[in-house]
Amino acid sequence: MPLPPKAIKSLADLKALQHKLAEQREREAAAAAARAAAEKMRLAEQDLFTRAIGATKPLRRKAAVPLAPEPPAPIPVQHQLDEQRVLRESLSDEFDVTTLLDADDAMSFRRPGIHTDVTRKLRAGEWTIQRQIDLHGLRSDEAREALGAFIREAHKQGLRCVRVVHGKGLGSPGRQPVLKAKVQRWLIQKNETLAFVQAKPAEGGAGALVVLLAPARR
């Protein structure tokens, strides 16, 4: 910093001031030279990079295609309706079947409009038994649910002739075939059932029924 004029009292003071000003100019010149050198180096490095990779241009942005979200899975309405129908279905143990059963020695059943020839052929074994269910050892409510599910599934698969084994009731109190009578009631209440007869002795006899199912709807 230059000395205030009042501080300059002699030639020596003037020379000292001139010396300080010269040093200050040298420092400013050195700083300017350093800045210039740094800028020159930056430009040289930039030029080197440009020559190394060649001309550049901004990348073009590709058009984005909006993707619609994946639609939710369809609601299985028919399946839900089927399940609701099953829940509503109630096979009664009090259903009176005495007026519907043919009072022969084997106690057979056929729906109105079904010819007697159908039960005759069932009894003679002219229908091939395609599947069976054994209800032995089940409680009444378990047997009812198992039979209902079995008949529904067999009908859905297009089966026409099945066997239902209910036992002869020899292990029941009083040795009465309680389950046999209930199975007859339940089968008659199933719309899938067209007819049934007591099985032949070799196929279960009084402990089983051969059931003819209606054709499945296509």
Across the range 46-71, mean pLDDT stands at 68
pLDDT in tens, 62-90: 666 666 676 766 666 665 556 555 544 55
Residues 6+ apart with CB under 8 A from 143: 135, 166, 179, 182, 183
Q: 136: closest CA among 146, 125, 149?
A: 146
Residues 6+ apart with CB under 8 A from 96: none
So what's the pLDDT on residue 60? 72
So what's the pLDDT on residue 17? 81
Single pTM value for the model: 0.55
- CA distances to 109, 147, 185 from 91, in Å: 17, 10, 8
CA distance 20 to 109: 132
Amino acid, single-letter form, for residue 52: A
Strands 208-213 and 131-134: unpaired
Q: 32 or 195, which is more confident?
A: 195
Q: Is the pLDDT of residue 32 over 50?
A: yes
Beta bridge partners of 163: 132, 210
CA distance 210 to 109: 10
So what's the pLDDT on residue 178? 81
So what's the pLDDT on residue 39? 85
